[in-house]
Amino acid sequence: MIKTLAVFLLVSTAVILAACQPSAPTPAPAPTLVSPTAPAPAASWKPDGKISDGEYTGVFKSGEYELHWTNDNESIYIGMKAKTTGWVAMAVQPGSLMKDADMVLGFVKDGQTVIYDLFSPGDFGPHPPDTEQGGKNDILEFGGGEEGGFTTIEFKRALDTGDKYDKPLASGKNKIIWAYGSTDDFTRQHSNRGYGEITLL
């Protein structure tokens, strides 16, 4: 009887100890690879002719000329500003000098904003509107203003318009040229110009 009781106690103890042992850890799930988040749409962007804090993610400045920009997956949003009451312009991916420059030029006249989608086939122009060369006007939204001797032009266009007179914009560095003139006549020569680059997300 005692022997049977001892065996019973030993078996019971073994069962209890086994039950108290921690179970093997559950393997952690494999990490999920998440692609980098795409640029968010520029919800705060408004083409009102005023460049507000936080409206753009990038800025290029040269003297009295400023170019501000932001982009999402489909569009680029640009703000151009210069110390002039005439026209303000920028061009994307220039070749040699002005050759093959995809240009946007705007000015404010009698309170109204005028903007052109242009293309320069030659080193020194001319740069007629795309619509006069068999292309189309790809400016989706725009606005402008004049204040304190400065002109500001804002516009939106697709990163890739599909128009052969527009240069596609890609993530990374994109070359630009810029200029501004003293009158509201875009056929008149610039009073200042230069080169630069913008970096898109």
Give me the pLDDT at residue 184, please: 83
Cβ–Cβ under 8 Å, residues 76 and 42: no
Give me the pLDDT at residue 109, please: 95
Give me the pLDDT at residue 187, please: 67
Compute the distance between CA of residue 185 and CA of residue 85 in angstroms, rounded to an integer: 11
Across the 201 residues of the chain, what is the mean pLDDT of every consecutive 10-residue run? 41 42 42 39 82 94 96 96 96 83 95 95 80 95 97 98 94 94 76 89 88
Give me the pLDDT at residue 140, please: 97
| CATH for 58-200 (3.90.1150.10, 1.10.760.10, 3.40.50.150, 2.60.40.1190) | 2.60.40.1190
pTM: 0.77
**In the chain, what are the domain boundaries?**
58-200
pLDDT digits over 126-179, tens only? Answer: 788 999 999 999 999 999 999 999 999 999 999 999 999 999 999 999 999 999
Sign of dihedral through CA atoms 113, 114, 117, 121? Answer: negative
